[in-house]
Amino acid sequence: MQLGALGMRAMRDRRAIMSITTGIVGAAGFAGVELTRVALRHPDLQLTVVTSNELAGVRVADEYPAFLGVTDLAYTTHDDPKLDECELVFLAVPHTAALAMAPRLVARGAVVIDLSADFRLKDPAVYEQWYKTPHTATDLLAQAAFGLPELFPDDLARVAARRAQGEGVLVGCAGCYPTATSLAAAPAIRAGMLADAGAVVVDAISGVTGAGKKATARTHYCFADENLEAYGVATHRHTPEIEQILGIEGRLVFTPHLAPLNRGLLSTVNIPLASGAPRTTEEAVEVYSEFYRNSAFVRVLPAGKMPKTSSVAGSNYAHIGVAVNDRAGVLIAVGAIDNIGKGAADQAMQCANIVLGLPETRALEPVAVPVG
Amino acid sequence: MQLGALGMRAMRDRRAIMSITTGIVGAAGFAGVELTRVALRHPDLQLTVVTSNELAGVRVADEYPAFLGVTDLAYTTHDDPKLDECELVFLAVPHTAALAMAPRLVARGAVVIDLSADFRLKDPAVYEQWYKTPHTATDLLAQAAFGLPELFPDDLARVAARRAQGEGVLVGCAGCYPTATSLAAAPAIRAGMLADAGAVVVDAISGVTGAGKKATARTHYCFADENLEAYGVATHRHTPEIEQILGIEGRLVFTPHLAPLNRGLLSTVNIPLASGAPRTTEEAVEVYSEFYRNSAFVRVLPAGKMPKTSSVAGSNYAHIGVAVNDRAGVLIAVGAIDNIGKGAADQAMQCANIVLGLPETRALEPVAVPVG
Amino acid sequence: MQLGALGMRAMRDRRAIMSITTGIVGAAGFAGVELTRVALRHPDLQLTVVTSNELAGVRVADEYPAFLGVTDLAYTTHDDPKLDECELVFLAVPHTAALAMAPRLVARGAVVIDLSADFRLKDPAVYEQWYKTPHTATDLLAQAAFGLPELFPDDLARVAARRAQGEGVLVGCAGCYPTATSLAAAPAIRAGMLADAGAVVVDAISGVTGAGKKATARTHYCFADENLEAYGVATHRHTPEIEQILGIEGRLVFTPHLAPLNRGLLSTVNIPLASGAPRTTEEAVEVYSEFYRNSAFVRVLPAGKMPKTSSVAGSNYAHIGVAVNDRAGVLIAVGAIDNIGKGAADQAMQCANIVLGLPETRALEPVAVPVG
Amino acid sequence: MQLGALGMRAMRDRRAIMSITTGIVGAAGFAGVELTRVALRHPDLQLTVVTSNELAGVRVADEYPAFLGVTDLAYTTHDDPKLDECELVFLAVPHTAALAMAPRLVARGAVVIDLSADFRLKDPAVYEQWYKTPHTATDLLAQAAFGLPELFPDDLARVAARRAQGEGVLVGCAGCYPTATSLAAAPAIRAGMLADAGAVVVDAISGVTGAGKKATARTHYCFADENLEAYGVATHRHTPEIEQILGIEGRLVFTPHLAPLNRGLLSTVNIPLASGAPRTTEEAVEVYSEFYRNSAFVRVLPAGKMPKTSSVAGSNYAHIGVAVNDRAGVLIAVGAIDNIGKGAADQAMQCANIVLGLPETRALEPVAVPVG
């Protein structure tokens, strides 16, 4: 099928103002295809390369028919030389693959936004402990920014400044569970509300896109449908990342769960309260509202309301609800995101916007689909 | 919760270029809320009124948290005087309610886009037969355009011309089943491929949004989930509308089905082939591809491929696949749309764009969410 | 429709050995209809009355077509005099309704199995505090057994002994969340593994049947589908029941969540470990396996495995997995049940079997549907 | 994990009356595991062998935890010599595999119930045409019974008589689509209601278990969820089987669809009416009710009602609704089954019961789960 005449014209109109050549490595996975969608609607980017070693030669629109008549791009392999011409490169590949590719791209001056786990953990020893492989780019790791804009704006600003001087830079974006969990936990913890002792218990639930595009028993419809289960109990690799973000090393009990939906991630964070901490839900809501007062993407719900993942599906928004259990002395903070949106592709684009000096919200304005 | 500072600024930026004041009557239903979403991102519209008799006084963002920080609009009643100031009014109300409201709005010069069934059937007697109530605005009916742009472009052009001269006009948008079914059937029928005798059998499947927002036994999660059923067999009111569009009075057997998904509608159309008609799938694909060659929103799939509703969810696209069963002499054409998108809100906006002289695709460019 | 000839014959064959006349009050709700299903296959029961004030006069098979040709029973009102002839009565009604009906039934000698919350909390003051209404049958409450057989066998044995002497007796069955949570928590807590201080955090997830049969915005397919949310945070009425069962008054943080599935409940329990408690998953598994060694319905999974609700759907089984987070000193125990099965109707039948002196497993043998 | 003490005792009790040694070849697929469940609760069968080449050595309960504490059986390979000792053997393997195994089993005297497509098509040439491989056991094919008891009772009686004389026999069970479709179509067609010309259009919808256990892009949760699609259009291999059953060679237009549910199959059959045929829904209902008057498993719904697949999930029941479109002269008959139940495993057990001289309903009595 050919790109329709009108589709072509619309593409040309947009291309006129596009300037930043962009590539996505690992563009056929769930985060990669969402990045493709967002990049194609971004007025300042020109998407020129999408790679997938498995699907090289296949058109994006043949793998994902939603792109029929929207783009004629086809996947190429990860070593496509056109990547070398990209000013902006997203890496949506498994860990260790990003480790192998990022240094060269940064060295030649690209803005690299990495969605893998390779540049999240600041301590290479912790990386090796949890990922069972040594970190081979510790210099780059040291200068990389951590991609969670609401909690580490200065880190991204630092890298944006270097980029403004023409340097290649790297952002290691936060994982999906760490994003929802930390957005829900950070306001209380940074306000000193966490008790000195006691575990921070996080029980989080993810849709099946979180398990990846590979067809397995776990992702088979008939096993995921009408089922709930916990997985990676006491062993999930997002544990050290959350502990690092929140500064609660060794105190996190993190249990992820799988539920039968496509996109959506809900993280319920239980924070034992310090003796002097506020003990009413209303006070907690105020702390949170103040914290996110200027945030473009995080909404704090009023006391008595809790977030729904359907409210943020397909978007970069995060909704947060809080309540205090005064009898047990625990703050419950619940964060809802789209694991592929704010938890992956959309947050990566938000980071790219910031580093490139564009408005943070560029191409990310759409309201979530309110029903369905 | 207040609109975030950044959200407010983004709103102001957009408002600068907004000019067409717009109202949505019945804005809290499933079609209405999707219209709200699309209208808010439309650069030429300024959405000033959203009405819902049941939810008057409630903020859109409180009913649909996806709008938190996106709009501060609250629902008013259907008789909100601000509607009189709107240049563009969408009616997303049940049939007979539109009949009561449309004439006055048109008379005072508004562009009225009606999503109900009140102005679809050209013959008032047929309307009365199927809807058990007389048509009380037959003059307006006679001059209304039928809102299915791909099949009746001249009708919309006629109304757009009148609107360009300052007159009030009305578009009666096609229903969801008629849209998917007719887009799938029309190319063959207009090419003379339909046999002189024999029924045109249409079996269509809809997601649960098609059953409306009212909480009933049918829409209860526990009854809709893990279930398939046919309904309205031999009696569904979309029957005469499809027959009118396709010119096959008395020959349609239309059976709608309900399946456990939110948004999505698939219509499988079985067309008995005239003796001289092409008998291969390849020829049929060519007929269809030619028919939709210049269409911005309809894609014809290559031989051997069939459409998926997930490819068009949240969009105004329609995907169509065709195959010929040569043994039985029947063409099978399958159309996939989002029943709330191309089947309701998005198509209504497409009609509004055309009548207002804007590019047909304005605010409708987004690619469907490819996964989920 | 008439009962088919073969169905009738099968019914007669079964009736020959039925002896215990049985009624279900509130038989049209989700727990009630599951009880109906189980009672009809129970070889020792003869189901003679099913009541529903809303559906009085309607046949069970017309409301739930799964019973077509299986039973000709029709719903009657709650005051059906035939209830007075029942030896066994299940109350599947909202709280306070059971409070009003149970005393008279017990006084005239019936075995009453109450699925409501009215006879679960041993302290009437706690009942009044959480349910905002005084307990009006405190004598009966004092002698009622708590219906959670695996944890309180002696209580049921006590009541069974009284019943064997011809007395009317009452069992107040455990709620769905308390059942899954307590089965997962009790072995560790009874073994003294719980630390002296620190909250017991329970995050549980339920399918939508848990929200009841009433059609509401919450149970509407389009709002429940593709959504995750927490509800009743810090306020859910199962809190005092769980605290009572486990003896952890004031230490429980319980957050229930809703996920898009029909039946299934997963409870993830986080138990801060006492200083001397076992610190390995293997040791914990051993404690649990020993605890449930003779249980007909509870299975403890080996170290490294976690339960899935689909494995117990439609059954009275509970599956439990445990793991230790040694860094944080917390035991994570995950319990999976069918909220309508072990969490309501099937457990009620298990209690009835015990009180009536029948094998505990009677009519509860079926294996869960392994797929789907 | 060991089988619980109570579970073991229950097993022993049952074994006492078991006598017919039974094996299931291909026991780990979706039909195979349902057969395992039904065979374990069958009082006259002793399940001794379950095979799976992929999972040889794995316990059933480790692959499907629903069997934890229920059976300690483990999968062996298809060449397990214990199969030679089985009086009853189910073949739940892909086509051609059954063709290779069945002759030897029948020759040594076993009752073989084949769920594959290998012994369904009576004409070997038709088999070769659609399955692209010659039929290598045409003698056995000639004497095999067709396993669709409601429509071909004499064929099964013939084979049961031979079996009563000690011979090995074979039943080739109907496929899932042919079962639902033919049960819905046969009463009208056998009553002479089908017109002489015109296609019989069948649009059927299946849950994802119909696509099999293999993890593929089609069965991936994220692609099946929230999606509807047609597949195998004009080419599906169930076409000749349905045509053979109904005697409508060359007149069938069969389009299967995939919908997001686990188990359930709905077939909507459109039958052009002969000139003298009854033209009201009430008359049609009467024809159907009379046809299935003595059926243990098929229910005909009253005029105005249509079946739901959830009403028959997990069972051997079929529900059928009919309506007449008098304008177009077409009878619409809708059949609902569980594709794994009546469409595969349960019907296979029904056939086994009949051939073995047991009551047809043995082990198949359970009512479908009415909710969920």
Query: What pLDDT, in 10s, does the model give residues B34-82?
Result: 999 999 999 999 999 999 999 999 999 999 999 999 999 999 999 999 9
Answer yes or no: is pLDDT of B1 > 70.
no
- B324-341: per-residue pLDDT in tens? 999 999 999 999 999 999
Contacts A216 to D, Cβ<8 Å: 215
pLDDT at D367: 77
Is there a contact between A213 and D220 if contact means CB atoms under 8 Å apart? yes
> Which has more confidence, A189 or B372?
A189
> How far does the CA of residue A135 sit from the closest CA of chain B (Å)?
33
Residues of B in contact with A296 (CB under 8 A): 4, 6-7, 10
| % of chain C surpassing 90 pLDDT | 92
Band the pLDDT of D17: cuts 50, 70, 90: low
Contact list, B372 vs chain C (CB under 8 Å): 226
Three-state SS at B294: coil
What's the average model confidence in pLDDT over D131-160? 97
Residues of chain B contacting D199 with CB distance shorter than 8 Å: 198, 270, 272, 325, 328-330
Smallest Cα distance from A210 to chain B, Å: 11
Report pLDDT for B372. Answer: 55
User: Mean pLDDT for chain B?
Assistant: 94
pLDDT beneath 50, residues of chain A: 1-16
Q: Which of residues 277-316 of D touch B (CB under 8 A)?
A: 281, 306-310, 313
> What is the distance in angstroms between the Cα of D262 and the nearest Cα belonging to chain C?
5
Instruction: Determine, for residues D30 and C371 on separate chains, whether the beta-carbon distance falls below 8 Å.
Output: yes
Residue D366, pLDDT score: 75
pLDDT band at D7 (very low <50, low <70, confident <90, very high): very low
Read off the pLDDT of each residue in D46-75 and give the average, rounded to a whole number: 96
For D164-218, the pLDDT digits (tens) are 999 999 999 999 999 999 999 999 999 999 999 999 999 999 999 999 999 999 9
Q: Is C356's Cβ below 8 Å from some Cβ in D?
A: no
Taking 50 as the threshold, does the pLDDT of residue D129 lie above it? yes
- pLDDT of D118 strictly over 60: yes
CA distance readout (Å), B206 to B30, B201, C28, D323: 14, 16, 28, 20
pLDDT band at C17, cuts 50/70/90? low
- What SS3 string covers chain D? CCCCHHHHHHHHHHHCCCCEEEEEECCCCHHHHHHHHHHHHCCCEEEEEEECCCCCCCEHHHHCHHHCCCCCCECECCCCHHHHHCCEEEECCCCCHHHHHHHHHHHCCCEEEECCCCCCCCCHHHHHHHHCCCCCCHHHHHHCEEECCCCCHHHHHHHHHHHHCCCCEEEEECCHHHHHHHHHHHHHHHCCCECCCCCEEEEEEECHHHHCCCCCCCCEHHHHCCCCEECCCCCCCHHHHHHHHHCCCCCEEEEEEECCCCCCEEEEEEEEECCCCCCCHHHHHHHHHHHCCCCCCEEECCCCCCCEHHHHCCCCCEEEEEEEECCCCEEEEEEEECCCHHHHHHHHHHHHHHHCCCCCCCCCCCCCCCCC
Nearest-10 Cα torsion for B41, B43, B46, B47 = -20
% chain A with pLDDT above 90: 92
pLDDT for B369 = 74
Q: Could you list the active site residues of C?
A: 176
Model pLDDT for residues B204-262, shown as the tens digit of each residue: 999 999 999 999 999 999 999 999 999 999 899 999 999 999 999 999 999 999 999 99
User: For the residues B187-202, what does the mean pLDDT come to?
Assistant: 98
Residue D173 is among the residues annotated as catalytic for this protein: no
The active-site residue, picked from D86, D176, D222, D351, is D176
Q: Does B232 touch chain D (CB under 8 A)?
A: no
For the stretch C324-344, pLDDT in tens is: 999 999 999 999 999 999 999
pLDDT band of residue B18 (cuts 50, 70, 90) is low
Dihedral over alpha carbons C173, C178, C179, C183 (to 10 degrees): -140
At residue D372, the pLDDT reads 57
pLDDT 10s digits, B136-184: 999 999 999 999 999 999 999 999 999 999 999 999 999 999 999 999 9
Residue B9 predicted with pLDDT over 60: no
- Mean pLDDT, to the nearest integer, of D260-284? 97
At residue C372, the pLDDT reads: 54
